């Protein structure tokens, strides 16, 4: 059996009394498109941070490509949740993409010309050729986000972590970026971990989902997890899930995010 691209064994994460998840066992395989869903504060970004080696688990072990997670792993590509670059960031769009491509693996192998060609190719793939030489701080949120995607794809990572990468993109670019991420996954063999609030833009690509809510989790195909029964039980309230023409509509989600552990906090 091949080594999982990323795995968690008996993983738990708590902050004080708040339990985000407990006893999570997970193996994400090379070439698997794995979506992470759940309400605000359910621990999706924290899971990314665990895999990036930035957030220690409360218990259990997390591995990437068979090795315990470590900061700065070259096995990982990361499209962070959107934050804007400061206005005067001294980088052009192509420099940012080049950072993803830089260094040991590619710099030597490609040479200067090849390096530039590859950066141009990536810029084109995310529809950023027209602003290749613009300072990143002057670009719109969506334009910056497309560059982050190009940067993360540049290194051909074993594991591609995407934290709401489609936010602030228009429909056309949502489709272009999600299809590129899908190609990186199903053609180039990266494992993709894709955090999102909305599964429909990527539903045709998703192999399995992890759904986090109320301190609980479920793992399975979208058809197994995204059901009225499963989500109602996780939210502890009636939630209706409608599958229609390949889309999934969830109706009646409770507004407030209930955190497992809040009861104890209140009692205390």
- Interface residues toward ligand ATP, by CB under 6 A: 15, 20, 38, 40-46
Q: CA nearest 136: which of 125, 145, 127, 126? A: 145
Q: How far is the CB of 122 from ligand ATP (least distance, A)?
A: 27
Cα–Cα distance between 202 and 248 in angstroms, integer? Answer: 11
24: burial class by Cβ within 10 Å (0-12, 13-18, 19+)?
buried
Give the residue with the Cβ less far from ligand ATP, 40 or 87: 40
Q: How far is the CB of 165 from ligand ATP (least distance, A)?
A: 13
Give the residue with the Cβ less far from ligand ATP, 15 or 121: 15
Give the residue with the Cβ less far from ligand ATP, 18 or 92: 18
Give the residue with the Cβ less far from ligand ATP, 95 or 164: 164
Q: How far is the CB of 47 from ligand ATP (least distance, A)?
A: 7
What contacts 24+ positions apart, CB below 8 Å, involve 43-47?
A: 43/13, 43/212, 44/163, 44/195, 44/212, 45/81, 45/163, 45/195, 46/13, 46/20, 47/13, 47/21, 47/193, 47/195, 47/210, 47/212
Give the residue with the Cβ less far from ligand ATP, 20 or 160: 20
Q: How far is the CB of 257 from ligand ATP (least distance, A)?
A: 8
Give the residue with the Cβ less far from ligand ATP, 2 or 40: 40
Cα–Cα distance between 161 and 174 in angstroms, integer? Answer: 16
Partners of 208 in the β-ladder: 34
Partners of 163 in the β-ladder: 195
Cα–Cα distance between 129 and 246 in angstroms, integer? Answer: 33
Q: How far is the CB of 201 from ligand ATP (least distance, A)?
A: 16
Where does residue 168 fall: left (phi above 0), alpha (psi -120 to 50 degrees), or beta otherwise? left
Give the residue with the Cβ less far from ligand ATP, 29 or 46: 46
Q: How far is the CB of 41 from ligand ATP (least distance, A)?
A: 4
Give the Cα-Cα-Cα angle 155, 156, 157 (nearest 5 degrees). Answer: 90
Q: How far is the CB of 113 from ligand ATP (least distance, A)?
A: 41
């Amino acid at each position: 059996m091949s080594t999982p691209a990323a795995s968690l064994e008996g993983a738990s994460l708590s902050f004080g009394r708040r339990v985000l998840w407990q006893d999570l066992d997970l193996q994400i395989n090379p070439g698997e498109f794995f979506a992470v869903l759940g309400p605000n504060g359910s621990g999706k970004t924290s899971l990314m941070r665990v895999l990036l080696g930035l957030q220690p688990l409360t218990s259990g072990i997390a591995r990437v490509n068979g090795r315990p997670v470590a900061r700065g792993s070259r096995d990982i590509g990361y499209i962070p949740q959107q934050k804007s670059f400061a206005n005067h960031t001294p980088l052009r769009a192509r420099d940012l993409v080049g950072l993803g491509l830089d260094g040991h693996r590619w710099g030597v192998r490609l040479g200067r010309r090849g390096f530039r060609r590859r950066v141009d190719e990536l810029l084109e793939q995310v529809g950023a050729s027209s602003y290749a030489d613009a300072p990143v701080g002057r670009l719109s949120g969506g334009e910056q986000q497309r560059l982050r995607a190009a940067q993360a794809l540049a290194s051909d990572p074993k594991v591609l972590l995407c934290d709401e990468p489609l936010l602030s993109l228009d429909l056309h670019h949502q489709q272009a970026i999600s299809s590129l991420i899908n190609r990186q996954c199903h053609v180039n063999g990266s494992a993709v971990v894709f955090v999102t609030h909305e599964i429909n833009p990527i539903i045709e690509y998703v192999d399995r989902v992890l759904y986090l809510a109320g301190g609980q989790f479920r793992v399975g195909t979208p058809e197994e997890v995204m059901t009225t029964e499963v989500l109602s039980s996780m939210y502890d309230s009636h939630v209706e899930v409608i599958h229609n023409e390949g889309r999934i509509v969830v109706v009646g989600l409770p507004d407030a995010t209930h955190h497992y552990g809040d009861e104890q906090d209140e009692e205390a």
